Amino acid sequence: MTTISAADVHKIIVACDAGMGSSVMLAAQLRKSLKKYPVTVEHSPVSQIPADADLVVCHAGLADRARAAAGAKPVIAFQIFLGDPAVEAILKAIKEGGVINV
């Protein structure tokens, strides 16, 4: 398993696929949770992941497409949109200064 330092994460992209808005809700929740930290959170279609992303977060069903679009950028897949352990681990690492398992 690869890890990245949370200190190296300055831009998180929540990638989606023309869904019902759940990923927009997740991006807003991450933005609110990380307001005090030097991290921006943006929402993007999975096919248009920005090159300046440090970390991509997406639903597990989109993970392969996100990895193809993100190139070498790390992709974290989650199963549920709110309260997923993978997303909670990202938040904890950024807030406490740790590593993120990719």
Q: Which residues are catalytic?
A: 16
- Residues 6+ positions from 70 with CB-CB distance below 8 Å: 15, 49, 53, 56
Q: Return the bridge partners of 100, or none.
A: 4
CA 66 to chain centre: 11
Using DSSP, how many helices (H) and how many strands (E) does the chain show?
A: 3, 6
**Is-contact 42 12, C-beta < 8 A?**
yes
Structure tokens at 42: 């943006």
